[in-house]
Every structure is written in C-alpha cells, then in structure tokens.
C-alpha cells in the first residue's frame, strides 16, 4: 500500500533555511545541506525547498545548493521558486532535483504547465497553490507572489477552479498551502483540504498549520491527502519524525517506518 | 534495513571493473550518479562515468540506462545518439531505471504529444501501458511496498520493503516480472530477462533499501546471469 508521506519543507532565503509566521518575519533556521541530510536520515519521505524570495524579486534560485543536496540525500526532493522557463526547470532537474514546483509563474502564464509537462512528463511537475479563506465572498481564493508581503496580490481564481485548471493542463501533484493556517500550528484546514481532495485526481500535499502529531493523523484520516508538509514543528524540534511515524502507524495510517 | 546494515554497504569487497551510466540527453542523470558515488571509494568513483560514447558503453563491466520524461523523447534521443543497436548488443549487466526500464520493453503506449505508440528496445518482451489505479491518484507517486523474487538484484531485500515510485505507465505482471507492487492493480515493480534488469521505481531515491539494490548491481558481472531464473512470486 502506498505510504502517506511526511514532507519537511525548507524555506530558503539567501542560501539559508528560514521560517516566518504567516509568511512574515523570517528568521534563520540553519544551513541547507545539514538540515536536509538530518531530515532524510530521520526518516522524512521527501523534502521540498522553496526559495521564498525568488518569484517576488524576479530572480532565480542559486542552483549550487541543489546539487549539494542531491549528492548527499537518498530520498526525493522538490525545488520551487521562480521557475518560469523550460530551461530553468531543466537546470534544476539536471542538478538532481526530482521535481520542480511552480506557483506564481503558473498564475501569470498557465501555458507554462503544459510546456513543462510536454518536455519532462507530468510526474515531475508540482503546482503550489497559496489559498486563503476570503470572508467577504465566503470562498477560497488564490494569492500570488506570497514570498514577499509587499508584492503579494490577490488573483481572480477561486481555489477550486485553479485546482481543476492546473490538472487539466498537466500537473503531476498539487501542494495546497492554506495561508490562514500557516505557521500558527492550529492544525491543517481539514474542511478545505477535503473539498479540494474531492476535485483532485493527482496526489495532494497538505501544507500549513501542523502543530501536533494528531494534526497529521487527522489530515491523512479525514482529508485523505497523500502527503503532509510542515516546517516549524520539525525545525524547532516540536515533533520528531520517527516518533511521528510510529504514532501514525499505531493509528492505522500507512507509513514507511 | 537498519542503519547498522546500511553502513556495511560501503565497506563490502571492492567493486570490480567499470560502470557506465548512459547519457540519454534528457534524463535526470545526476541523482543516479550521486547514488552510485555514495557507495564507492574515491578510486572506484574514477571507474564510474556518465557518457554517450559508444566504445565506452560497449567496454563497460556494467551499464545503467536511466530515464526521466516521456518514452518518445527518450527513445528519440537514443536514436539520435545511435545508441539503440549498441544497447541491444550488450551482454554485460544492464540496469534500466524507471523510464530506462520501460525502454527495455517492446513498446510503450505513452504517446505524449504524438499519435502513435513508442517503439522501444525490445529486449524484454512485454509492453508498457497506463497503470489502472482503480480511482487512486495518478501518477503513482511515493513510497510503496514490493514483493521481490530471488533475483540477485534483490539480495538482502525483504517482502514489504518500501521503495520510491513516480510513474503513470507500467509493465503488467508476466513471465519477466521479478518484483511486483500494487496501486489499484498489481503491476511489475521490476522485470528482467538475461542480463537486462529494469526497475520501475527509483533505487537512487529509495534510501537504504534502494542503495542495497544498487550495491547488488555493482557486484554483478556477465557471469551473474548464467544461472539466472526469474522465479515470479506474483499472481499473473
């Protein structure tokens, strides 16, 4: 049986791993390669690296750390941040990334998804979606350029519609980041994730809000997501990955222990 | 495998001969190379190369055919590099990984942007078709368990060990299946015929379990296949 994946996320800024609260006030957590290696050795199933400044500041990530990570770790990892062209994507994959994740550039030019899929196959094309609950319209909507508070803007997309659109265009996986929950460790947004799950035929990764082991159990058992992404609970040592996996296994969640 | 066992992976007897990873031009070659390098001493790494040089491929002790992307693009690249007949002529151990496995078969009906099935190398007589996940998400992406056979690539590997898969197409269970897995339907997690071995999953990304298989491959030579039997433990 396919195991549910635990995916530590490393937000990268200026070559360091950082973590903000609700996408703001970034603090340095540590160096990229040692932290990546530690998570891999502790039993993480996959890693995601987001260069959170790249899209907003119109520059691409420094690629050298991608190959340093690939040299060291023997689990898959995904690289995100400012990938707008086939060539930029090819470079990351050539340096050893298993997947590339596209967020803001796909909103600017949705045809990028098709072009990437034609070139590399859908299995390595991940679409990141920053979704928030809009109180005025009582609906979920998509934000763009969330890496920089000053550049962040609303889009015309309702989250459900964008999830359908990116699948139609050929993405292989979706990371749904629920911004209202991010970094505050109050639990994943089960209601929204369950709704998106019902529209999502590709693997779905939940992101935003993990604070306790029970939050992971709930998002797998209730929202039926394929993977759960989290950052601060791992960076700050609040949750140990091995202990989390044993807990999930004891709660009848299929995991690789 | 325990961490203690995985530590043994690099302290085994030295690796004989040369290992060539075929430069298919459109694959994620770095990951496969790094995974082998992690198993090698500094001297052994000197005998590992990534190349599309025909003479080097023919002369290698063992050959790896990696692959990421679509079957059509990858086969076109092999044809452009005049490598199709070269690969078919090999008698040393050949390991196809993921799309590299699929290229070892007769044909793939992953059509991509074209309207025709993709003719492959025809070295293992089976065909690649879309995985019937029976409603489960596709691509089949993540860690899944395998049921391995007695094939030497699985020395030290147990039923239920997890490996990392990323694919939407698969070889069915059949005569040449040497390991099976399930995602909706049962399918071939690995196939083999004579000196040609194909793994649908990514051993280079499968932590210590995958590293053990790569180590097993590095211990293979042409002699390994004189007494090979593809004992298939999966239900056809």
Q: If you count them, how many residues does chain B have? A: 236
Residues A126, B211: Cα–Cα separation, whole Å: 26
The domain spanning residue B188 has which CATH number? 3.40.50.880
Report pLDDT for B30: 87
Q: Domain limits at B138?
A: 3-225
Domain assignment of residue B231, yes or no = no
Report pLDDT for A15: 72
Residues A209, A195: Cα–Cα separation, whole Å: 17
| Token code pair at residue B211 | 């590293």
Label residue B2 by pLDDT band (50, 70, 90): very low
Pick from B10, B145, B166, B203 the residue to mutate for testing the A interface (most A CBs within 10 Å).
B166
For the stretch A149-169, pLDDT in tens is: 778 888 899 999 999 999 999
Instruction: Report the pLDDT averaged over residues A208-233.
Output: 95
Would you call A67 and B30 a contact, using CB atoms and an 8 Å cutoff? yes
pLDDT above 50 (res B106): yes
Instruction: Report the pLDDT averaged over residues B37-55.
Output: 96
Whether residue B98 lies in the annotated active site: yes
A70, closest residue in chain B (CA to CA): B31
Q: Provide the angle, in degrees to the nearest 10, between the axes of the packed helices A111-120 and A86-94.
A: 40
Domain assignment of residue B140, yes or no = yes
Chain A residues with CB-CB distance to B202 below 8 A:
76, 98
Instruction: Report the pLDDT averaged over residues A125-130.
Output: 96
Whether residue A217 is preceded by a cis peptide bond, meaning omega within 30 degrees of 0, is no
Residues A219, A190: Cα–Cα separation, whole Å: 6
Residues A61, A83: Cα–Cα separation, whole Å: 9
Would you call A5 and B70 a contact, using CB atoms and an 8 Å cutoff? no
**A38-62 exposure pattern, b = at least 16 Cβ within 10 A, e = fewer:** ebbebbbbbbbbbbbbbbbeeebbe
Would you call A121 and B140 a contact, using CB atoms and an 8 Å cutoff? no
Strand partners, B130: B169
Number of domains in chain B: 1
CA proximity to A68, closest of A15, A26, A19: A15
Q: Does B109 touch chain A (CB under 8 A)?
A: no
Check B44, B98, B110, B151 and give the catalytic one: B98
Instruction: Report the pLDDT averaged over residues B207-219.
Output: 97
Q: Does A37 touch chain B (CB under 8 A)?
A: no
**Chain B closest-CA separation from residue A149 CA (Å):** 33
Domain assignment of residue B117, yes or no = yes
Q: What distances in angstroms separate CA A197 from CA A30, A129, A225, B59, B173, one per listed residue?
A: 33, 14, 7, 51, 30
**B59-85 exposure pattern, b = at least 16 Cβ within 10 A, e = fewer:** ebbbbbbbbbbbbbbbbebbeebebbe
pLDDT above 60 (res A55): no
Would you call A119 and B69 a contact, using CB atoms and an 8 Å cutoff? yes
Whether residue B44 lies in the annotated active site: no
Domain assignment of residue B42, yes or no = yes
Instruction: Report the pLDDT averaged over residues B42-67.
Output: 95
Report pLDDT for B234: 63
Whether residue A31 lies in the annotated active site: no
Segment 147-186 of chain B within 8 Å of chain A by CB? 162, 164, 166-168, 182-183
Residues B107, B172: Cα–Cα separation, whole Å: 13
pLDDT above 90 (res A181): no
Work out the percent of chain A whose per-residue pLDDT is above 90.
Answer: 61
Residue A202 has its nearest CB partner, among B28, B137, B211, at B137
Report pLDDT for B86: 97
Whether residue A74 contacts residue B207, with contact meaning beta carbons closer than 8 Å, is answered with: yes
Of residues B112 and A189, more confidence is placed in A189
State chain A's mean pLDDT as an integer. 88
Report pLDDT for B119: 94
Domain assignment of residue B234, yes or no = no
Element (H, E) at A80: strand A77-80
Domain assignment of residue B176, yes or no = yes
Report pLDDT for A75: 97
**pTM value?**
0.90
Report pLDDT for B91: 96
For the stretch A8-18, pLDDT in tens is: 999 887 777 88
Label residue A1 by pLDDT band (50, 70, 90): confident
For the stretch A57-114, pLDDT in tens is: 545 556 678 889 999 999 999 999 878 899 989 888 888 899 999 999 999 999 999 9
Q: If you count them, how many residues does chain A have? A: 257
A98, closest residue in chain B (CA to CA): B28
pLDDT-wise least confident of A36-50, B14-28, B200-214 = B14-28
Domains observed in chain A: 5-250 (3.20.20.70)
Q: Does B112 touch chain A (CB under 8 A)?
A: yes
Tokens 């994943």 — which residue? A188
**Chain A closest-CA separation from residue B205 CA (Å):** 4
Residues B183, B165: Cα–Cα separation, whole Å: 10
pLDDT above 90 (res A188): yes
| Token code pair at residue B197 | 């071995």
CA end-to-end span of chain B, whole Å?
Answer: 29
Would you call A203 and B141 a contact, using CB atoms and an 8 Å cutoff? yes
Label residue B165 by pLDDT band (50, 70, 90): very high
Instruction: Report the pLDDT averaged over residues B11-23.
Output: 84
Of residues A227 and B2, more confidence is placed in A227
pLDDT above 90 (res A41): yes
Would you call A201 and B137 a contact, using CB atoms and an 8 Å cutoff? yes
């Amino acid at each position: 049986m396919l195991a549910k994946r635990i995916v530590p996320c490393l937000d990268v800024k200026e070559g360091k791993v950082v973590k903000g609260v609700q996408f703001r006030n970034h603090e340095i957590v540590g160096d990229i390669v040692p932290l990546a290696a530690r998570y891999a050795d502790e039993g993480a199933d996959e890693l995601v690296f987001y260069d959170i400044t790249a899209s907003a500041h119109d520059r691409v990530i420094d690629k050298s750390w991608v190959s340093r990570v690939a040299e060291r770790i023997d689990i898959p990892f995904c690289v995100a941040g400012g990938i707008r062209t086939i060539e930029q994507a090819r470079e990351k994959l050539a340096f050893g990334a298993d997947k590339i994740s596209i967020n803001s550039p796909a909103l600017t030019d949705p045809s990028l998804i098709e072009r990437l899929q034609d070139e590399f196959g859908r299995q390595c094309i991940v679409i990141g979606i920053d979704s928030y609950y809009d109180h005025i319209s009582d609906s979920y909507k998509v934000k763009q350029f969330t890496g920089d508070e000053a550049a962040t803007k609303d889009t015309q997309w309702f989250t459900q519609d964008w999830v359908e659109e990116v699948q139609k265009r050929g993405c292989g996986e979706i990371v749904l980041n629920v911004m209202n929950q991010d970094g505050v460790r109050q639990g994943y947004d089960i209601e929204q994730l369950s709704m998106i799950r019902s529209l999502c035929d590709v693997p779905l990764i939940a992101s935003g809000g993990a604070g306790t082991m029970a939050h992971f159990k709930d998002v797998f058992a209730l929202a039926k997501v394929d993977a759960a992404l989290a950052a601060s609970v791992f960076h700050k040592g609040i949750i140990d990955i091995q202990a989390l996996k044993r807990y999930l296994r004891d709660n009848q969640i299929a995991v690789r222990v | 495998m325990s961490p203690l066992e995985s530590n043994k992976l690099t302290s085994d007897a030295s690796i004989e001969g040369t290992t060539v990873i075929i430069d298919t031009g459109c694959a994620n070659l770095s990951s496969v190379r790094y995974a082998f390098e992690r198993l090698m001493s500094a001297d052994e790494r000197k005998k590992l190369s990534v190349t599309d040089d025909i003479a080097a491929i023919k002369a290698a002790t063992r050959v790896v055919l990696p692959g990421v992307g679509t079957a059509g693009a990858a086969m076109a690249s092999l044809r452009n590099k005049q490598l199709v007949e070269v690969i078919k002529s090999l008698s040393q151990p050949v390991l196809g990984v993921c799309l590299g496995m699929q290229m070892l078969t007769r044909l793939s009906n992953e059509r991509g942007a074209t309207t025709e099935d993709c003719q492959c190398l025809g070295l293992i007589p089976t065909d690649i078709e879309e995985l019937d996940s029976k409603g489960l998400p596709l691509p089949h992406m993540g860690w899944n368990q395998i049921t391995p056979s007695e094939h030497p690539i699985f020395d030290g590997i147990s039923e239920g060990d997890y490996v990392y898969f990323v694919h939407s197409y698969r070889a069915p269970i059949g005569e040449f299946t040497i390991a099976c897995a399930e995602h909706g339907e049962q399918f071939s997690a690995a196939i083999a015929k004579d000196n040609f071995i194909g793994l649908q999953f990514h051993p280079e990304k499968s932590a210590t379990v995958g590293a053990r298989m790569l180590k097993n491959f590095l211990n293979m030579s042409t002699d390994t296949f004189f007494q090979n039997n593809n004992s298939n433990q999966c239900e056809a």
